[in-house]
A and B are shown apart, each in its own frame.
Chain A
Amino acid sequence: MFDLVIRDGLIVDGSGLPARRGDVAITDGKVVSVGGRAGEAKHNVDASGRAVAPGFIDPHTHYDAQLCFDPYAFPAIEHGVTTVVPGNCSLSPAPLPANQREAFSRMFRLIEEMPKDAFDAGVDWRWGEDFGQYLDVIAQDLAINVAPLVGHSVIRLSVMGDDARNRTATDNEIAAMCALLDKCLEAGAIGLSTSFVDIDDTYQPVPSRWAAPEELDALAAVLGAHSAVLQIVHEFYDADLTIARVNQLAELSVAHQITTTLSPLFHNAAAPNEVQRVLDAVEAARQRGAAVWPQMQTRPIDISFTLHQRSLMLLTMPAWWKVASIAEHADKVAAVIADKEKLAAEMDAIQQRRSGLGAGEFVVRQVVHERNANLVGRTIDDIAEERGCTHGEAVVDIVIDEDLGTWFIRESIGHDQSEAIGAMLADPNVHVGASDGGAHVGSFSTFGDTGYLFSEFVRTTGSMSLEQAVKKITLDPATIWGIEGRGLLAPGYAADVVVFDPDTIARGPEVASEDFPGEGIRWIRRQEGVDTVVVNGAVTWTAQDGYIDSARAGVIATR
């Protein structure tokens, strides 16, 4: 008797081959048969009229802190995601000496936009300083599979201490970093992440940016000995720089026989040929035998912001960033009132600096006072015209009147040309990823990119078939990242399975959620069209019952 049989579904097995109808039988956490009619089982799932696919793999996430207090990485699982790769962009919670914890925490919270209360609730350093012990700790309470990267900035902090933030490494230090990376890979790291763009809380480059090419080359050699992956976040705002990074990765890939990936890659409607130039460079690298995988997200870029916290939207407006960074609310209110004219002028200036990105397109998303309910859904341009003031003045007046609690949103800032993006997502050289899952919690939802892949690029634009879309987020990432035994519905593979309606699967609307520890909200999206999610044979979420409290079948997928 099988443990579980998912019966009479449309099996989309992850290979990209045509779907077929039949049963998927599971025992001891593994798939044991696919297709045909399976025998009796202890538990059954009726999948008639539904697609049955391998669990989705999200290769670019920052669930590092969330996994310490939330074994489900809520709400990732209900979207069908059963394996995540945290530790991207040079930042992982281990290995890290105790005296560098505060520096790392400030860096992570700033770069990944994680509220301090939530971060502190999870990251209590109970694993000590060791990467393997960190994995041991989170593995004790996991509902989702984790294939973690180890961060280059963290490796540097471990070996060089504070000097990691201001100089290149000596030969001895590089050797020590290589030894530490080797130990982390032995313990279960899937690869190394590094960053060429991020800044820390003091606006200085993160430690990985102080690494000379020789250091990265030495670390890549260690990756090669483990068949491990190198992930980078590159200068994504510039095509020439991106192409140069593609070349750098290609050289490392060929020299050390490693797989490399860079994220994110965006389509730019103002310069649509630029991304094609990058893809041409990727293809040229491929012709040289290099494995360079650009990650492209499916969703358009939307950014919300409030003065309650720092936000990506405010990063290039120093006066706004300064007030958003003030910890005490009363001090912040006083600063906004005192700098009212300066703030308004700075916000008005962004229209001149970035055509099409002016404050006039901001929409009032959520208000504090009922008397301002009529503002919700209206653009600042509309409100400013009604009030006879500038865009900046309108924003400042609203936030002062609202005790700084108003939420604004700027939708479709970019990466929203679906026909063009669909063609690129379907490109065999493009890796669907870059969700940033678990990060930027006050700026946008990082959940539902997989549902959006189906709703927008399978059903609306027809850029790819159902089978191709499933392959893009199952077998492709499993193969690229070397996640063995996952990403395919075939006998012997891990029983990570998602049952969904191919006609309705989508991302739900972006909504405010108060589920994180501490005050404040984050933006999330719930699933639409997903029926059942199975992780290593355990039914972990169903549309009928929600999250199954007892489901803790997640594992460190690299062990």
Chain B
Amino acid sequence: MPQRRYVHPEPGDDLAAIAARECPEVEDPNTLLSWNLHLAARPGGRGSVLPSDLVFVEPPLKAQ
């Protein structure tokens, strides 16, 4: 079954680093945040990630 591609953060990662590594074709770093709204309201600020987080590196799939 089709599932959204995701990664776990690597040490020292923030969303910008993950975007650069996992989806270099994406120019606007806010795009990755828009795919990961669960990371948008973090106490550490927008774009901060925790080691246990899941970070989607593609947009939501089309409805089946």
Interface residues of A (CB under 8 A from B): 168, 196, 199, 203-205, 208-213, 215-216, 235, 238, 240-241, 243-245, 247-248, 273, 277, 280-281, 284
Contacts and interface: CB of A to CB of B under 8 A. Distances in A.
Interface residues of B, number: 17
Interface in B1-48: 1, 3-4, 6, 8, 11, 38, 43
A240 B60 contact: yes
A168 B1 contact: no
Contacts of A238: 38
Given A168-B11, A240-B60, A241-B38, A210 B51 contact: yes
Interface of B: 1, 3-4, 6, 8, 11, 38, 43, 50-54, 56, 60, 63-64
Nearest to A216: B52
B49 to A, nearest CB: 11
Nearest to A195: B52
B52 A213 contact: yes
Chain A, interface SS category: helix
Contacts of A216: 52
Contact of A210 (B3, B50, B56, B64): B50
A473 B8 CA distance: 35
A208 B1 contact: no
A245 B64 CA distance: 20
A248 B55 CA distance: 13
Nearest to A246: B3
B52 A244 contact: no
B52 A284 contact: no
Contacts of A243: 3-4
Given A204-B43, A235-B38, A238-B38, A245 B54 contact: yes
20 contacts: A168-B11, A196-B53, A199-B43, A209-B52, A210-B52, A211-B52, A212-B8, A212-B52, A213-B51, A213-B52, A240-B56, A241-B38, A243-B3, A244-B4, A245-B54, A247-B3, A248-B54, A277-B64, A281-B1, A281-B3
Contacts of B6: 244
A247 to B, nearest CB: 7
A463 B60 CA distance: 33
Nearest to B61: A240
A213 B8 contact: yes
Contacts of A212: 8, 11, 51-52
A168 B64 CA distance: 38
B31 to A, nearest CB: 16
Contacts of A209: 50-53
A244 B50 contact: no
Select the residue from B52, B53, B60 with max chain A CB neighbours within 10 A: B52
A371 B56 CA distance: 55
Nearest to B9: A212
Nearest to B6: A244
Contacts of B43: 199, 203-204
Given A213-B8, A213-B52, A245-B54, 14 more contacts: A168-B51, A196-B53, A199-B43, A204-B43, A209-B51, A209-B53, A210-B51, A210-B52, A212-B52, A235-B54, A240-B4, A243-B4, A244-B6, A281-B3
